[in-house]
Amino acid sequence: MQLSLDDASPALSNVVFCVLDLETAGSSAEVGGITEIGAVKYQGGEEIARFNTLVNPGCAIPSFIVMLTGITDIMVMNSPPIEAVLDDLVEFIGDSVIVAHNARFDMGFIQSSLERDGRPRLTNKVVDTVSLARRLVRNEVPNCKLSTLAESLGLNHQPAHRAMNDVLATGDLLHYLIERAAGFGVYDLNDLIALPKLGSHPQANKLKFTEALPRTTGVYMFTDAQGEVLYVGKASNLRSRVRSYFGTNESRTKVGSLLKLMQGIEFIQTPDLLTAEVLELRIIGRLRPRYNHAGTRTAKYCYVRLTTEEEWPRLMVSKTPSAKGICIGPISTRNMATEVVDAIESVIPLRRCTVRMGRKYVAPDGAPVCSAARLGLAQCPCSGTAEPESYAIAVQQAANALTGKSTDVIEALTIRMNAHSEAQRYEEAAYLRDRIQTFETVLRRQKQAEKLCNQGKFTVSFDNIVYEVDNGVLASTRNADQLFMPLASLSKHVHEAIVVPNGVHDEHGMLRSDAMDEVLCIAKFLEAQQ
């Protein structure tokens, strides 16, 4: 698991915008070609470069287009075709952010021209000033046509259905809208692009809660009016992630309900994503927010136990660990624990009955033979048909399987799976495949957790960040010799939730279910760095 930060969204003052406008001989790329291209690059509000050329569209220009633009067939007769212009245009645009008024129209013509010439499509980010204007000034103007906006807002340039005139007017509009967007806390490119979608969200008035969020790694918490944590998440860019919940493409019912209840946002900045993930796990595990599905996960953890304290041991699934017998876990769900038991019992003939058998147990006369024993799948001590010596061998095999000292179970199941597959009994083969995968997953997690917990206290460094791990949990994080400390402004119950666990084992020496996720998280991270 390689943890990395999202590419930081640049501040708007540092972005190079390429404002673009086309004049065309038709309403679509299929109807008519491009007659003129205008483009101006801006950075920090200042013009830095221009591009302007007439283009031979390869067809007659309709009379109404001539009247609208003033561009005639004679004017473009000796102009280059679009294929001869594309190289210069693409080079001029470079990696800048493309801006256009009704960008879908202009980009449609450009992308179609590139495709017809066998060139790759442009992948630049695009800002549409129509969408921005509808979000920011729609209630102040009769409509969002470029000419109307230029007149109503008093822009320096007026459009005239010529590419360069329209580009300059669009450039004025862009910078006007950027200034207006600052009132919504929009100062970087990602926020500017997302703003039109955010504005139509039913809970858009709550965007104010995101203004204080940094563009760094950390943990965020949605809280209600009483300060209760409703939902916890982690992000490599807190601001962008939280604001994405307000997007119009977010259709999950749970999110809508969450945002209705949300009355505040708490956050914790972290120096890296691993620390964020660990804190997220702690908060979810201890506070169990109602909108975190994972918050109930630890409550479902189970253990598989071999009851070696009995005369005739058996496998069982239990909710809590025990000092008696051989116990593995915690296992994520009861279903997974049951599949582990099924995998072992399908290979090793342990009893499956639940009859209590003390050391002096004697099977009653006429006791029925268990169905599993009749099928040859188990020995049947409850009916007196099991031999202590052979049963002891089966118990040792089961103990080896649980402690990872033998691969006999997996090998036997694999042989059966392959035989079923060759016989085209695919459902049975799939059943065995799932059992094998579950068994291997449980053993792997158990091994990872035990290995990490047995290492005691140690430090490890990656990418100039130093982690102190103590018995499987993250004790501290240092970045540039500075110890990471959460903000003191956090609410009391959140502060209490992120405290380093005081040990990860219970009184029986078993790994606690509420610590398992953190231990595995760290174990997987460390393994990925090797």
Catalytic residues: 161
- For 263, phi then psi, to 5°, come to -130, 10
3-class state of residue 458 by DSSP: strand
Specify which residues 483 forms β-bridges with: 478
Domain ranges of the chain: 12-184, 203-298, 301-447, 457-529
CATH fold for the domain made of 203-298: GIY-YIG endonuclease (3.40.1440)
- Coil, strand or helix: which one is 515? helix
**pLDDT, tens digit, for every residue of 275-313?**
999 999 999 988 989 888 755 566 778 899 998 888 888
pTM for the whole structure: 0.63
**C-beta separation of 193 from 127 below 8 A:** yes
Residue 166 pLDDT: 96
Look up the CATH architecture of domain 12-184: 2-Layer Sandwich (3.30)
Which amino acid is residue 47, in one-letter code? Answer: E
Which pLDDT value is given to residue 82?
93
Given a contact cutoff of 8 angstroms between Cβ atoms, the answer to whether 270 and 217 are in contact is yes
Beta-sheet pairing, 482-483 with 264-269 = unpaired
Q: Torsion angle, CA of 410/411/417/420, rounded to 10 degrees?
A: -150
- How far apart (Å, rounded) are the C-alpha atoms in residues 355 and 73? 97
Q: Which of 326, 325, 378, 389 is nearest to 352 (CA)?
A: 378
Whole-number pLDDT of residue 360: 65
pLDDT of residue 4: 32
What is the side-by-side order of every strand in the sheet holding 315-318?
Answer: 315-318, 302-306, 326-331
* 238 in Cβ contact with 220 (< 8 Å): yes
| CA 370/CA 380 separation, integer angstroms | 6
pLDDT (0 to 100) of residue 296: 56
Q: What confidence score (pLDDT) does residue 1 get?
A: 33
Distance (Å, whole) CA 42 – CA 13 = 10
Residue 2: predicted pLDDT: 33
How far CA 65 is from CA of 68, 85, 212, 359, 456, in Å, comes to 5, 22, 50, 101, 78
Residues of the chain with pLDDT under 70: 1-8, 31, 198-202, 247-253, 294-298, 358-361, 488, 508
Q: To the nearest 10°, the Cα dihedral for 404, 409, 413, 414?
A: 50
Q: What's the number of CA atoms in the CB half-sphere (13 Å) around residue 306?
A: 20
Distances in whole angstroms, Cα of residue 378 to Cα of each of 137, 314, 317, 356, 390: 77, 11, 18, 17, 11
Tell me, what amino acid is at 462? F
